[in-house]
Amino acid sequence: MESFLSTWHQAATTSLGLFWMAFWAFGLGYLISSMIQVFVTRERMRRSMGTTGAKSIGLATLFGFISSSCSFAALATTRSLFTKGAGLVPSLAFLLASTNLVIELGIVIAVFLGWQFVVGEYVGGALLIVLMWLVVRFTYPRKLTDKAREHAREAEQSGDKEEVPDWRKLIRSREGWCKVASRYVMEWHMVWKDVTIGFAVAGIIAAFVPREFFRALFVGSGSENPAFWEILLQSLVGPVAAFFTFIGSMGNIPLAAVLYSHGVSFAGIMAFIFSDLVVLPVLRIQAQYYGWRMAFYIVGVFLVVLVTSALLLHYGFAVFGVLPDPATTKSVVERDFFAVDYKLVLNLIFIALSALFLIWRWRTMGPPGGHGGRVLFTLACIALLWLGVGVALPLFGL
């Protein structure tokens, strides 16, 4: 019993620590999303990202790199671009860039895995976008895309029915920033249940599930010269493992290092890292934005391109003789989630900003209403109770 309580406390602390590490990224992504929704006109987006040409996709990739953030926040920003008139391919390019071409992610990968994985992350991010462009080009569902755009516009407009005036005037007005505050609060209101459950589950898996379980998922791990079918299977299992451990690429990098130290191939690790956009919480949010059919289409495209990218990276590195050696993998140690560093400063800034926006929204429009689903709301409340009790256990001498 004592061991269970100790592990419970560790799980809850890990969940809160992971959330603390990512909070500023959530806030930044939702701020950008809210500003796009309020200030950027549909016509302007059509001119910059409205086609599927190389220029549009290049701009989308650049915008995604500039606004790089966690997947939840990137999903909200992508929806904003799509509803404003951006094409499907540029919108998905933005989503892939903002979750894979991330500077902070590259730094963490360098610490835990080494330079080959850093190169693989950025080259792979570009590969994901190019392959996605090709797959969508040959499978483009025009009617489904039009229907998804209307669905997304209805969902986005549900929180704000007013006509949006000229952005140049709006950005200088109190009304404009009041709308930004309202949208920012609504973005958090839309996903807080998924986020709460996701972080709680991540902590539980990190604390309770033996690491050997994940090694057993990857057939052929530890082999000196795994066959192609074993590399392929590991690339397919990567998204499965990410599904059960998902909280975002940042939180998955230490586990990726553990898997690699147990002999999982370079392709399997890269597929695991790339899989933050093909898991259940993301699928559910995509369905909420665009409808279930479009959500499954997007996830299907992403699965195809991430597995293909992982294989191309693996054998490309093999050709040049630069596949990483598992013996050089650094040991994974317990992380210091609450260190005094840049994350503390950024989190304090976005805590203050979030509180300001919430108060502003409350005073001008009232609190956001509705649970958005009783089952999910109940699970989120259970997750909060689990986290609260788990963190407080030492206070009771347990």
Question: Tens digit of pLDDT for each residue in 354-368?
Answer: 999 999 988 888 877
Residue 1 is predicted with a pLDDT of 65
In this prediction, residues 152-166 reach a mean pLDDT of: 58
Q: Is the pLDDT of residue 42 over 70?
A: no
HSE (side-chain half, CA atoms, 13 Å) at 265: 32
CB-based contact 189:155 (threshold 8 Å): no
Q: What is the pLDDT of residue 332?
A: 41
Q: What is the CA radius of gyration of the chain?
A: 21
Stretch 375-396: mean pLDDT, rounded? 89
Nearest to 304 by CA among 257, 202, 207, 235: 235
Residue 165 has pLDDT above 70, yes or no: no
- pLDDT category, 164, cuts 50, 70, 90? very low
Of 246 and 128, more confident: 128
**Total structural domains within the chain:** 1
What confidence tier does 161 reach under pLDDT thresholds 50, 70, 90? Answer: very low
Q: What is the mean pLDDT of the chain?
A: 81
Does the predicted model carry a pTM greater than 0.75? no
pLDDT at 179: 84
CA–centroid distance for 149 within its chain: 21
State the pLDDT confidence band at 206, using cuts at 50, 70 and 90. Answer: confident
Most distant pair of Cα atoms in the chain: their distance: 64
N-to-C CA span, the chain: 10
Confidence band of 285 (pLDDT split at 50, 70, 90): confident
pLDDT at 328 over 90: no
For residue 350, name the pLDDT band (cuts at 50, 70, 90).
Answer: very high
pLDDT for 116-127, tens place per residue? 999 999 999 999
Question: How many angstroms separate the CA atoms of 6 and 25, rounded?
Answer: 30
Question: Does the pLDDT of residue 160 top 60, yes or no?
Answer: no
Residue-level pLDDT at 294: 92
Spatial distance between the Cα atoms of 149 and 123, rounded to a whole number of angstroms: 30
Condensed to tens digits (0 to 9), the pLDDT of residues 139-155 reads: 988 889 888 888 887 76
Short-list 315, 300, 303, CA closest to 265: 315
- Res 43 pLDDT > 60: no
Shortest CA distance to 276 belongs to which of 310, 233, 239?
Answer: 239
The yes-or-no verdict on residue 113 having pLDDT over 60 is: yes
Q: Which domain holds residue 96?
A: 2-396
Six token digits for residue 210: 């033996």
* Residue 40 pLDDT grade (very low, low, confident, very high; cuts 50, 70, 90): low
Of 65-69, 240-244, 361-365, highest mean pLDDT: 361-365
Give the pLDDT score at 54.
Answer: 83
